[in-house]
Each structure stands twice: as C-alpha cells, then as structure tokens.
Chain A
Amino acid sequence: EAQVTQNPRYLITVTGKKLTVTCSQNMNHEYMSWYRQDPGLGLRQIYYSMNVEVTDKGDVPEGYKVSRKEKRNFPLILESPSPNQTSLYFCASSFTTTGTTSQSWDTQYFGPGTRLTVL
C-alpha cells in the first residue's frame, strides 16, 4: 500500500530534550517536505527536500533540522525543543517535474501527523 508513515504519532516532551520525528514513504518520491499546522495559521512549511542530499529551508525553519540520506526517509530533528514548537506536524511527499523554467508538483501524500507537546 502506498503510504507515508510518521513516528511517533503523539509525543509529550520537555524543553531542551532532543527529539526526532521520522518520516518514511514507499512511493519512490523525490520530493519530501515537513509542515507544521497551528490554529489560525494553516500549514507552514518547515523544510523540504528535492532529492537525496538536497534540502532547503521553508517558511519556518528556525529550531529544526532535517536530513535526506536515503530517498525514502526524511527525519525532522528538534535539537532543543521549546514550547513554541508545540504543534501538529505533517510530512508529505510527491513526484516533481523540473522544466527549464518551472517546477511542478504532483499530488502531495501526507503522513498521518505527529502531535507534539513541549512542556
């Protein structure tokens, strides 16, 4: 079954304790992305990756790290979590097409979400 998985689904932690949220897809997608969703703010992109070893900042990258060592995995790392990182996090993946002057995306497949609470 084609899917994006995230773990853990729920996490309560304390300020400063490093954590990693894993994301894995089995569809051979080049593009992967992390979003956080907060009430009234919608989905905001944290980091994205166009392919293995290619990552870049999204709109709200502060306090986060990512890596893309394998095509299927795109973990999100919070080195020193703070309460303002309490949020609902989604990982997404898709195929992309790069033209000479444009970039287009196919359907974004989202993971089930990780609800993180930082105390």
Chain B
Amino acid sequence: RKEVEQDPGPFNVPEGATVAFNCTYSNSASQSFFWYRQDCRKEPKLLMSVYSSGNEDGRFTAQLNRASQYISLLIRDSKLSDSATYLCVVNLYSGGGADGLTFGKGTHLIIQP
C-alpha cells in the first residue's frame, strides 16, 4: 500500500518565524523526493527536489533522512507569500512499476502578519 504521510495542519506561523514540517514515506527503497507548493485552486509547482545530502535554496532547506524514512522542509524568515499548501512527493517503488510517484495530501501553512 502506498503511503506518504503529512500533517495537514494548518500551521499558523507569524511572519519572520522559522517553520518546519516533515513527510514520512513507507518504502525504504524509495528514490526521488520532492517538495511542491500549491496555492489555493492553482496547480502544484515544484519548490525543490530533495537530495541525499540535503539542499538549500534561499530561505528553504530540504533534508532527507533515509534511516527514519522522512523528508523535511524548513522555511526561514517566513513571508506572507509563503502561505500555501506544501505537497511532499515520493517515488515509493524502486523497481518494475511506474506507478510509484505518490503525493502526500499536503501541509497547509498560513503566515500571519
């Protein structure tokens, strides 16, 4: 059974604060990992890929913990424009099937002034 789990939130965070949320996945052999951002009623858009060594893009840091089977997203100095739903995406299967790209249900983040 495919499983990518996220805390749905909402996370209410004051502007300027640091916020982090995780996403757990079920298959230890999973390969690709991504964070997508989705604004209300809009299409998801790639925020960043998640690499084994961790990666940073401006105020955003993504990390992968294979031992505990989760990925994380850290947002520093949060802006009002960061308010959105953040979707975790994992390729759950490492062999054979091509149906393993699975989306989490998303974490809703609200940045408050």
CB of B20 within 8 A of chain A? Answer: no
- How would you classify the secondary structure of chain A's contact residues: helix, strand, loop or mixed? strand
- Given A48-B99, A112-B42, are A105 and B91 also a contact pair (CB < 8 Å)? yes
Q: Would you call B99 and A45 a contact (CB within 8 A)?
A: yes
CB of A14 within 8 A of chain B? Answer: no
Q: Would you call B46 and A108 a contact (CB within 8 A)?
A: yes
CB of A102 within 8 A of chain B? Answer: yes
Q: Would you call B95 and A110 a contact (CB within 8 A)?
A: no
Binding site for B on A (CB under 8 A): 31, 33, 35, 40-43, 45, 48, 50, 56-59, 88, 90, 96, 98, 101-105, 107-108, 110-113, 115
23 contacts between A and B (CB under 8 A): A42-B106, A45-B101, A57-B99, A58-B99, A88-B41, A90-B43, A96-B98, A98-B98, A101-B95, A103-B95, A103-B97, A103-B100, A104-B91, A105-B91, A105-B101, A107-B34, A107-B49, A108-B34, A108-B36, A108-B46, A108-B89, A110-B44, A112-B42
